Structure 1
Amino acid sequence: MSFIDELKLNASLTDVDDYYYSTYNPEDLIGPCSFSNNNSLSTVIGPYIHSIICFLGFVGNSLVIVTYALYKRTKSMTDVYLLNVAIADLLFVLALPFIVYNELYSWPMGPVACKLLRGSYSINMYSGMLMLACISTDRYIAIVQARRSFGLRSLSYSHVICVCIWVFALLLSIPSFVFYQWYEPTNHLVIMIGGNNQTATAPQYVCEMKFANSETATKTKVALPSIQLAVGFFLPLLIMIFCYTSVIVTLMKAKNFQRHKAVKVVVVVVVVFIVCHLPYNITLLYDTVSMFDQGDCEYVDFLQAVLTVMQTIAYLHCCLNPVLYAFVGVKFRNHFRKIFKDLWCISKRYMTPRRFSRGNSDTYLSTIRRSGDVSSETGSSFTM
């Protein structure tokens, strides 16, 4: 049984900080579940698989942000949404290593970092999913409601919508800021045998949810997964299905090769979203419904192991978003190639410092920005 599983078991015994003294016959005591399967998966998925996800997500989303900052500029609603998705995913993968560490070990970074970590994790999760729903809505307006799109698809509207989404995600994440606390669990069971006190593992600081009473704990442990399922998955899923189904129907009526090619892109976007998030959310729903049912150790261990695997698959989506939404566009791929071309040119210039001063370097970077702006065309990166 891992350290964090033992702490969670102790935290589930009571929500107060007092020691409980009892006299038990050691033969009557039943040891806690070992969760061997879930622990084995966590030791592999945590350090290794999540590291790959963090690396790929960091590189892909950073390239999207750099491209918008130096080359493309945001000239449509979809561009604004794509930039915000990249920011949310980047912050998500930056927080993921600390989340993994917190789940495997004790938390040494203090109460402020604990609340910021869990709160930002929740904010980025909600905002990223809702931004994807906004991209599908923008594509619906641009293609299905093309006659009305000029009045509805303005940059000012997109900025207001993005601000509202970030604020809404912050409001949904308030429980994470409130209930996640950095504390030293002191609710270990003390067993008095022959007058000698034998305590459990020495308490260490953890960053976990802590409640004042069992009623608050019950309501919160049901409400938080329910909100995550409703707002963080089913709402974006329903919006994407409706919008992209309408887009596909409209594109199929057009006798144009590019439009039919775009249908494949839409199908891939929806399928990847469902494959990544549907298994995890179904498992989370089942886990929430059966949260207070009694089950044997093997069953609970199996369910937690499945939840760990499905959650990792859901995390993969933050790596795929740059490919599906940004790099799939022809113009965005051109900007992406230009980044490496310009970086290669700059590196060659710096290898000959006598012929290339710092002033020339600044001039060259400004030229890159101007050339990127000139080569950019009005339109969306998610080219249909």
Structure 2
Amino acid sequence: HNWNSSGTCSDKHFHIVEQVLGLYVNSIICVLGFVGNCLVIVTYAFYKKTKSMTDVFLFNVAVADLLFVVSLPLIVYNEMSAWPMGPAACKLLRGSYSVNLYSGMLLLACISADRYVAIVKARRSFKLRSLPHSRLICAIVWAAAILLSVPTFYFYSCYEPSHVANVFMLDPLSEDNLTSWSPEYVCEFKFSDSGTAWRAKVAIPSTQLAVGFFLQLFIMIFCYTSIVFTLLRAKNYQRHKAVRVVLAVVVVFIGCHLPYNVTLLYDTASKFQHKSCKESDALQVAKTVTQTVAYLHCCLNPVLYVFIGAKFRNHFRRIIQDLWCLGKRYVAPRRFSRVTSDTYLSARRSVDGSSDNGSSFTM
């Protein structure tokens, strides 16, 4: 076994993988997720009004994903180094991270159910898919996400681990070590007794598996299987093209989240079994890699659920055109002032006057 001076495993491979993924891959995920979800929010705020239940769900998914990628750098920093802020910030960061995770998953389940009602139960969809209903459902989703995150808010705390002094103060009698060493705090789970620790370390990941993955997977498979059969019965090229979109949504979700949840399930089932240092290191590496793959889904949500629709792509082009026109107006105001003003106003009239009664998630 690879043991360090404190008598614990060193997990050297895990720390190497954590540094590489934390610095490079997660940085790319944060940038792409931030840009993509900001474009969705800006489009709904200034260009496209939320006219359908799908639009309301997509807007809330973008908000949840945006909050997720904003908190991700702090989560990665906390996992790679000591926690520099106090206990309140620790609870807020970890709790909000959990809320965004649950809300994003539950909202994707709502989108699947909404697509099922709109296509398979088209005759009843007008009564069920109203804006007041969609706003009520979103409020329930966010409330459920907060309720499911209560254990995270409660048990996460900022404290100094008992083994830190053993790691950094190799010689307790040396005055140099005593003066140079300063306490380092972590933002992790903290329990009052072993019984509470056992129950929480099983219940929290089990809830995440049940609500954050298996519930969403079951709803998605049921709804999209019914949608595919309904679309295949329709002899229409656009409908058959929409089948590929549905399959892409399912494949991407399973590809991103299945590896991490299988690893999490194994880790939870073997939580209190003795593992060698090599097995512990391999499990930590697997959790880190598969978790990073799961994070990719927040970047792909805008592409799969929004930009794949023709109407939303048109709004995105108008955003680029308006930014370009505004940029030219400020860079060269004398030369381009009249042209850019006319272009910008005409673009805005085309947006405001466009008829967009359908959903942005075009099937």
**Structure 1 and Structure 2 fold alike (TM over 0.5):** yes
The aligned counterpart of 1:379 is: 358
**Per-residue Cα deviation, 1:136-170 (whole angstroms, up to 9, x for no partner):** 10100000000000100000000000000001000
Could you tell me which residue of structure 2 aligns to residue 123 of structure 1? 99
Residue 236 (structure 2) aligned to one of 251, 256, 259: 256
SS of equivalent residue, structure 2 residue 188: strand
Report if aligned partners of 1:70, 1:372 keep a CA contact under 8 Å in 2: no
Query: Are residues 1:352 and 2:332 paired?
Result: yes
2:31 aligns to what? 55
CA shift for structure 1 position 279 = 0.7
Q: Deviations over 1:329-361 (max 9, x none)?
A: 00000111111011111111222335788xx97
- Worse overlay, 325-334 or 103-112: 103-112
Q: Which deviates the most, 333-342 or 364-373?
A: 364-373
The aligned residue for residue 319 of structure 1 is: 299
Match of 1:12 in 2: none
Which of 94, 103, 108 pairs up with 2:84? 108
Aligned counterpart, 1:329: 309
- State the secondary structure of the residue aligned to 2:47: helix
C-alpha separation in 2, matches of 1:366 and 1:164: 40
Name the counterpart of 2:70: 94
User: CA shift at 1:31, angstroms?
Assistant: 3.0
Specify the alignment match of 1:302 in structure 2.
282
Match of 1:212 among 169, 174, 192: 192
Aligned partner (choices 322, 326, 334) of residue 342 of structure 1: 322
Are 1:281 and 2:261 an aligned pair?
Answer: yes
Give the letter for the 1:162 counterpart.
Answer: C
- Counterpart amino acid of 1:313? V
Q: Secondary structure at the match of 1:72?
A: coil
Look up the match of 2:223.
Answer: 243
Q: Which runs of 5+ in 2 are unaligned?
A: none
Could you say which residue in structure 2 is the equivalent of 1:133?
A: 109
Distance 1:281 1:262 in 2: 28
Following superposition, the deviation at residue 183 of structure 1 comes to 2.0
State whether residues 280 and 311 of structure 1, in contact with CA within 8 Å, keep that contact through their aligned partners in structure 2: yes
- Alignment-derived partner of residue 13 in structure 2: 37
Which ranges in structure 1 are unaligned for 5 or more consecutive residues? 7-28
CA distance in structure 2 between the partners assigned to 1:349 and 1:226 by the alignment: 55
- For 1:221 and 1:202, locate their aligned partners in 2 and report how far apart those are by CA, in whole Å: 30
Structure 2 counterpart of 1:145, which letter? K
* Residue 269 (structure 1) aligned with residue 249 (structure 2): yes
Match of 1:80 among 47, 56, 71: 56
Query: Pairwise CA RMSD of aligned residues?
Result: 2.6
Distance 2:103 2:300 in 1: 16
Contact kept? 2:30, 2:69, Cα under 8 Å: yes
Q: How does 1:189-204 map to 2 (within 5 A)?
A: 196=173, 202-204=182-184
CA distance in 2, matches of 1:376, 1:283: 47
* Counterpart code for 1:382: F
Question: Which 10-residue stretch deviates more, 59-68 or 371-380?
Answer: 371-380
Q: 1:297 to 1:351 in 2, by over 3 A?
A: same
SS of 2:8 mapped into structure 1: coil
Q: How far 1:77 moved relative to its partner?
A: 0.5
Distance in 2 of aligned mates of 1:88 and 1:365: 31
Say whether 1:143 aligns with 2:119.
yes
- Give the secondary structure class of the aligned counterpart of 1:182: strand
Matched residues in 2 for 1:67 and 1:241: separation? 30
- The verdict on how the C-alpha distance between 1:174 and 1:350 changes in structure 2, with shifts beyond 3 A counting, is same
Contact 1:190/1:197 (<8 A) preserved: no
Partners of 2:147 and 2:172 lie apart in 1 by 51
Query: 1:374 offset after TM fit, Å?
Result: 2.1
Question: 3-state DSSP class of the match of 2:219?
Answer: helix
SS of match in other structure, 2:187: strand
Amino acid at match of 1:174: V
What's 1:19 paired with?
A: none
Deviations 1:147-199 (A, max 9, x none): 000100000000000000001000011111111111233565769x9995899
